[in-house]
Chain A
Amino acid sequence: EAQVTQNPRYLITVTGKKLTVTCSQNMNHEYMSWYRQDPGLGLRQIYYSMNVEVTDKGDVPEGYKVSRKEKRNFPLILESPSPNQTSLYFCASSLNPGIHGYTFGSGTRLTVV
């Protein structure tokens, strides 16, 4: 089944403890991206990647890192999480964002205490 898989679905962590949210797609998509969703603010783009080893900042990149060492994986790294990074996170991918729609992961609900 064609899908974007995020892990974990739920995570509670403490301030300052490094964490990684994984994202993997099995559709050979070139484009991958990360978003956070907050009440009243909607979805906001964190980082995106047009291809392997090519990443760029979105609207709200501060406090986040990403890497794209292989096409299928695009992990989101929080080196030193803070409570303001408590949010619902989505990963998405597309074969060609100029032509095709997006496939979203199921989301990761992160709580930083």
Chain B
Amino acid sequence: ETGVTQTPRHLVMGMTNKKSLKCEQHLGHNAMYWYKQSAKKPLELMFVYSLEERVENNSVPSRFSPECPNSSHLFLHLHTLQPEDSALYLCASSQDLEGSSYNEQFFGPGTRLTVL
């Protein structure tokens, strides 16, 4: 158990649906991340939050909308997605943003998203 949970684990949605992914970390960390993982591609960083403020948005389409109501919870709201958005969506947290061995990122198990 890594201390980062994600729900749902699997999600199938149509292109006109609206759904939300939820992430919760129980580690007392200050930074949280959303990643997209597609087969045989590098992890793509989507959003970064530090102390509940968004610090990075890597040119992600507006059909993905993050929300961080507090330092323990992170949501990814989805609407009018495309089939190419089908992927594994991973949430991660770290103590802080700065890179060091003490700021390793802890990942949740991911949500496997399929867009029909």
Do A and B actually bind?
Answer: no
Residue positions of B touching A, CB distance < 8 A: none
